Amino acid sequence: MAQITEKLRAIMALDPARAEIDFAGRNYSWGEIAGVVATIESLLAGMGLPPEARVGVMLRNRPGHIAAMAAVLSSDRCLVSLNPILPDAKLFAEVAGLGLPVIIADEGDVARPGAAEAVARAGTAAIVIGAGLEGAWLLPGHERPMGAIGTSPGVAIEMLTSGTTGNPKRVPLSRSAFDASLEAFTRYERGRAFSDAPVLRSGVTMVINPLTHIGGIYGCIGALVAGRKIALLEKFTVAGWVDMVRRHRPKVAPAVPSALRMVLEADVDPADLSSLSVIIAGTAPTPPELVDAFYAKFGVAVCTNYGATELVGAVAGWSLDDFRAHWAEKRGAAGRVHANIAARIVDAASGAVLQCGAEGLLELKGEQLANGGQWLRTTDRAVLDADNFLFIRGRADNAIIRGGFKVQPDDVVSALQEHPAIREAAVVGVPDERLGAVPAAAIILKAGAVAPGEDELRAFLKQRLVAYQVPVHFRIVADFPRTPSMKPSAPGLQALFAG
């Protein structure tokens, strides 16, 4: 990660006394962060870990974990993300199966029953992160790796996907791809280029997405290399998010679509959000009605983007200038394709390139994708217009085949969310003995709304969908099973309808 490595090292040396992380009511300085980074780097070097060695990190949204991340990346090693919210058995099995020479984990995670035994079985050394930024140390009895030290040449992070449609996968993200991605993202800031000399800037970057997800780790790395203070939230709550905005007065804040709905429903005082010009909304499709409702209440533009773990972040998005100039005519677009990315729409069956305005599968090409300059076919149905604005119509790989008819869950979700009582909906396919599979809908009601009956819902949907798209099963829930990035989890939803 050549450029990012240099920037991280330079930024940490500029002003050790300046506060850099606000977490749980306390400010942590660059000096405190750099001290833990240096300790972890020394411990890794003492194990004989060379550059590009794989280092597992159980990432939580805490200051010590940002220091661990910086230590691994600034020493040109490969960070292998581990998700500590997994059940013990699953997490420990993953540790055993990855062949890591060392893992870095919070002292609370190391103390979990069976954790030390799992580390011993894996032959893995372990570095413990203290609460807050109290330091780092070797786990007694697990000071050195027992097996061979594997490397991942050219790879910055082996990143977990969100697991929306199944078990999370681990995707290798190269150093060069991160450089290209952050360089493209920096163009959205007026008066700033990625090649600028490292400086400490005013303003605050809010990091609310989990560091185990590309949105969280990307936002964190972006803030570090930009020299901006980080306001870190361990888990999203409306009260915590609003308090962070009220105290730091940022112009830009992140929020996933489900969080935007929660803020709207909580009837937050617009004065509390008066500093904001833009909400950056990613990780899941954001309905245009939600963008309009948020803008109407708070006067804040919701700038969506499109990306994925495999794409090393966003490849398309709205800028504030584009939003002001084009939202009325481009309403519902995910944004404009980044200048360093080529995009085209192809026919799913033949691969033929389609004209502007036609719907098909999205293909992308660019240095950020780190695939040798080849076209990369996504699984997203999309439309690209003449101005390079991208409209995502849904996923091609989660279609429900109902007796030979193809049902796209996103189409059903859009129709359900037009109902005045429904705050959010999610649709999955469930097995059916006669038809193979049928759609099932989980629904979250707006506060104070009267629950519609199933017959009412079916009649409402039949005015907007063809008959085979209408769900067979409905369930009203307080919340969905969700991934760490707050997307509805398809396996979790299917479990709701099991039997």
Name the one residue in this structure whose structure tokens are 């010590």. Answer: 64
* Residue 436: band (very low, low, confident or very high) from pLDDT cuts 50, 70, 90: confident
Q: Are residues 409 and 390 in the same domain?
A: no
Q: Residue 56: which domain range? A: 2-169
CATH of the domain at 475: 3.30.300.30
Same domain, residue pair 302 and 350: yes
Question: Helix or strand or coil: residue 358?
Answer: coil
Please state which of the ranges 124-138, 276-290, 450-464 shows the lowest mean pLDDT. Answer: 276-290
**Residue 36 counted as domain residue:** yes
Residue 142: pLDDT above 90? yes
Asked whether residue 408 is assigned to any structural domain, the reply reads yes
If asked whether residues 385 and 454 sit together in one domain, one would say no
User: Would you say residue 1 has pLDDT above 50?
Assistant: no
The DSSP line for 406-421 is EE-HHHHHHHHTTSTT
**Residue 212 resides in a domain:** no
Domain stops at, among 363, 395, 427? 395
Report helix, strand or coil for 265: helix
404 and 388 housed in the same domain: no
CB 277 within 8 A of CB 319: no
Q: Same domain, yes or no, for 391 and 404?
A: no
461 shares a domain with 322: no
Residues 309, 287: one domain? yes
- The last residue of one of the domains, among 395, 417, 432, is 395
Helices (H) and strands (E) in the chain, counts: 15, 25
Length of the chain: 499
pLDDT band at 193 (very low <50, low <70, confident <90, very high): low
- In which element (H, E) is residue 377 found? strand 376-384
Dist. CA 226–CA 354, nearest whole Å: 39
Lowest mean pLDDT among 209-218, 237-246, 299-308: 209-218
pLDDT at 192: 67
Both 421 and 447 in one domain: the answer is yes
Does residue 431 or residue 185 have the better pLDDT? 431
pLDDT surpassing 60 at residue 2: no
Domain boundary among 133, 153, 169: 169
Does one domain contain both 412 and 370? no
Could you report the per-residue pLDDT of 357-399, keeping only the tens digit for each? 999 999 999 988 877 889 999 988 999 999 999 999 877 778 8
- Cα–Cα distance for residue pair 211/220, rounded to 1 Å: 8
pTM of the model: 0.80
Q: Is residue 106 in some structural domain?
A: yes
Most confident range (mean pLDDT) of 123-132, 167-176, 181-190, 490-499 is: 123-132
Note whether residue 227 is domain-resident: no
CATH code of the domain in which 298 resides:
3.40.50.12780
Residues 323 and 453 in one domain: no
What token pair was written down for 267? 């009837």
Q: Is position 40 within any domain?
A: yes
Within-domain flag for 193: no
Same domain (yes/no): 371, 409: no
| 362 vs 7, more confident | 362
Residues 301 and 410 in one domain: no
Other C-beta atoms within 10 Å of 450: how many?
8
Inside any domain, residue 225: no
CATH of the domain at 13: 3.40.50.980
pLDDT at 294 over 80: yes
Number of domains in the chain: 3
Q: Looking at residues 106-130, what average pLDDT do you find?
A: 94
Distance CA 219, CA 216 (A): 5
